[in-house]
């Protein structure tokens, strides 16, 4: 059973302010909850239906306190329009130290849509990018919709929030800005080190960030569309530069 | 002014049944409405706020009947949670004849999410793919959320709904199935002709479609994510095979 105070606390974590205050977030989803547990995140408690618990005894066994709740309680706890059978209370991991040398990082400027943010984290994870740099004005990565869209990848990608411009100005490693007026992406060879830069959904990267980047790259357009979705663009760039 | 019957008619077009009956659909969005007009679609009427109309006189001038409506009426007409300043009543274009030889087509099996469908149409348009083949169990491309996600690309891509399996079995052109157990995509050279096949968001392509395709391809995975979003996967494949 959950007390009213517990329900209220979990609901409060739908808001960034309370997540920052408590250092915890909520992960929802039948597949995501087990992924976070096996991915080594600090899962404090799992709230799930009895059916779900009996189907997931192996992943849960002893490792995490599990509370069986009715579907209507899960609905109360959920921030999503379609609630899931399981929901976890998770610690926000401490930020790992920023390491730019010898690896590829993905950096995001002013990404606003929680679903896009989740998709971008999932792309980073697919391509083995372990470090995601976000400007402070990006949507919070611990937003419930973002967490759901990562499909568990949040457990395998370090998130670092920092001022991108001052980072680029140090020119520690090469940086690759996705723009509409850059060099054809097919002329670049495979990357071993650097920062791939993806900008806001409607405005793209800021002029300052583009100017501070060492390379500007463009996905050649063969048809009529004005632009590509930020996640799709990031996927195409990783698909050309990392494999 | 719009009559109650007109409002009811426009609202009815949120449902596939009424779109099929009437042969019309609704396009919403400040950018999409002008794109559909200049893209040559048969736009029957535009409903927009006075401010929007005065800012778009050039694209509208004489070509399309425009009705000024109050914001609260637009809200009534809209199928979206965030209504736009302009909405258009558009004829569903007649299906163009299927042509497989000498071009690249994108084929979708059982895509369920309207946003993903719109993103896929936008990707096709970016890469100059003029023909999108959908299985009959895909989400309707004239769904208001799909239309919005196409960002106007719906005007430049022919949509053909057909049985994909029987099409593949004719083996008129090579076909490339996106799977998790195929040949590394980086070993393929640039395509001039063929069908790129993308499957359902959670299940991927059906075994029958994979078996009937002439090539199976896989995006190499370097990290931990189990899968990629259908739109992202399609973008990466187009980014390797078409440019």
> Which of B70, B95, B101 lies closest to B7 in space, CA to CA?
B70
What is residue B39's predicted lDDT score, i.e. its pLDDT? 86
Backbone angles phi, psi at A231, to 5 degrees: -65, -45
Q: What is the DSSP string of A126-178?
A: HTT--EEEE-TTSPPTTSHHHHHHHTTGGGTSEEEE--HHHHHHT-SS-EEEE
Last residue of a domain, one of A37, A58, A91: A91
Asked if residue B43 belongs to a domain, the reply is: yes
Separation of alpha carbons A200 and A137, rounded Å? 10
Contact status, residue A148 vs residue A28, Cβ threshold 8 Å: yes
What range defines the domain where residue A171 resides? 104-241
Asked if residue A99 belongs to a domain, the reply is: no
Separation of alpha carbons B227 and B201, rounded Å? 9
Separation of alpha carbons A141 and A165, rounded Å? 20
- ipTM for the predicted complex: 0.93
Q: Do A73 and A189 fall into the same domain?
A: no
- Identify the residue with better confidence: B74 or A63: B74
Using a CB–CB cut-off of 8 Å, the residues of A that contact B are 39, 119, 122-130, 151-153, 156, 185-186, 219-229, 231-240, 242-243
Please report which confidence band the pLDDT of residue B84 belongs to, taking 50, 70 and 90 as the band edges. confident
Last residue of a domain, one of B66, B91, B116: B91
Separation of alpha carbons A125 and A112, rounded Å? 20
Asked if residue B96 belongs to a domain, the reply is: no
Asked if residue B98 belongs to a domain, the reply is: no
Q: Do A8 and A114 fall into the same domain?
A: no
Local structure of residue A61 (DSSP, 8 states): T
Tokens 């590394």 correspond to what residue? B184
Asked if A229's CB is within 8 angstroms of B122's CB, the reply is yes
Q: Do B125 and B56 fall into the same domain?
A: no
Separation of alpha carbons B211 and B111, rounded Å? 19
Last residue of a domain, one of A91, A114, A148: A91
Q: Tell me how far CA of residue A2 lies from CA of A62, A70, A73, A81, in angstroms.
A: 20, 10, 9, 21
Q: Do B191 and B133 fall into the same domain?
A: yes
Contacts of B106 in chain A (CB under 8 A): none
Q: What is the pLDDT of residues A148-205, one digit of tens each?
A: 999 999 999 999 999 999 999 998 999 999 999 999 999 999 999 999 999 999 999 9
Task: Return the ∠ at Cα A193 (arms to A190 and A197), rounded to 5°.
Answer: 90
Asked if residue A96 belongs to a domain, the reply is: no
What are the tokens at B187? 């070993």
Contacts of B243 in chain A (CB under 8 A): 185-186, 219-220, 222
Please report which confidence band the pLDDT of residue B18 belongs to, taking 50, 70 and 90 as the band edges. very high
Q: Do B122 and B42 fall into the same domain?
A: no
Separation of alpha carbons B51 and B71, rounded Å? 10
Asked if residue B26 belongs to a domain, the reply is: yes
Asked if A227's CB is within 8 angstroms of B232's CB, the reply is no
Contacts of B186 in chain A (CB under 8 A): 243
Asked if A232's CB is within 8 angstroms of B231's CB, the reply is yes
Please report which confidence band the pLDDT of residue B9 belongs to, taking 50, 70 and 90 as the band edges. very high
Cross-strand partners of B200:
B204
Q: Do A157 and A75 fall into the same domain?
A: no
Residues in chain B: 243
Q: Do B219 and B116 fall into the same domain?
A: yes
Q: Do B69 and B109 fall into the same domain?
A: no
Count of structural domains within chain A: 2
Q: In the predicted model, what is the mean pLDDT of chain A?
A: 94
CATH for B205: 3.40.1280.10
Asked if B151's CB is within 8 angstroms of A226's CB, the reply is yes
Segment B201-215 shows an average pLDDT of 96
Contact status, residue B129 vs residue B158, Cβ threshold 8 Å: no
Q: Do B234 and B177 fall into the same domain?
A: yes
Local structure of residue B139 (DSSP, 8 states): P
What are the tokens at A65? 């306190």
3-class secondary structure, B128: coil
Helix segments in B28-175, DSSP class H: 32-38, 50-55, 57-60, 71-77, 114-126, 144-150, 164-169
What is residue B223's predicted lDDT score, i.e. its pLDDT? 96
3-class secondary structure, A190: coil
Percentage of chain A modeled with pLDDT above 90:
83
3-class secondary structure, B194: strand
Q: Do A26 and A126 fall into the same domain?
A: no
Asked if A233's CB is within 8 angstroms of B236's CB, the reply is no
Q: Do A201 and A166 fall into the same domain?
A: yes
Closest in B127, B153, B235 to A235, CB measured: B235
Q: Do A113 and A197 fall into the same domain?
A: yes
Asked if residue B97 belongs to a domain, the reply is: no
Number of H helices, E strands in chain B: 11, 10
What is residue A17's predicted lDDT score, i.e. its pLDDT? 95
Separation of alpha carbons A241 and A44, rounded Å? 38
Q: What is the pLDDT of residues B122-164, one digit of tens each?
A: 999 999 999 999 999 999 999 999 999 999 999 999 999 999 9
Asked if residue A97 belongs to a domain, the reply is: no
Local structure of residue B154 (DSSP, 8 states): G
Backbone angles phi, psi at A208, to 5 degrees: -65, -45
Backbone angles phi, psi at A76, to 5 degrees: -65, -40
CATH for A48: 3.30.1330.30
């Amino acid at each position: 059973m959950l007390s009213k105070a517990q329900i209220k606390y979990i609901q409060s974590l739908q808001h960034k302010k309370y997540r920052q205050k408590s250092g915890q977030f909520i992960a929802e989803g039948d597949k995501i909850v087990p992924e976070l547990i096996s991915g080594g995140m600090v899962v404090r408690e799992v709230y799930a239906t009895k059916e779900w618990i009996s189907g997931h005894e192996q992943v849960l066994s002893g490792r995490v306190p599990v509370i069986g709740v009715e579907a209507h309680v899960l609905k109360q706890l959920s921030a999503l329009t379609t609630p899931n059978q399981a929901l976890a209370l998770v610690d926000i991991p401490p930020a790992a130290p920023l390491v730019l040398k010898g690896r590829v990082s993905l950096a995001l400027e002013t990404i606003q849509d929680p679903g896009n943010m989740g998709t971008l984290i999932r792309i980073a994870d697919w391509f083995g990018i372990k470090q995601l740099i976000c400007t402070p004005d990006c949507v919070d990565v611990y937003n419930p919709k973002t967490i759901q869209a990562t499909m568990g990848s949040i457990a395998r990608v370090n998130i670092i929030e920092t001022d991108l411009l001052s980072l680029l100005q140090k020119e520690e490693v090469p940086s690759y800005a996705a723009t509409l007026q850059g060099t054809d992406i097919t002329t670049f060879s495979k990357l071993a080190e650097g920062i791939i830069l993806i900008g806001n959904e409607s405005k793209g990267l800021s002029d300052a960030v583009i100017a501070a980047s060492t390379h500007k790259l463009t996905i050649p357009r063969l048809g009529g569309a004005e632009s590509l979705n930020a996640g799709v663009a990031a996927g195409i760039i990783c698909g050309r530069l990392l494999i």
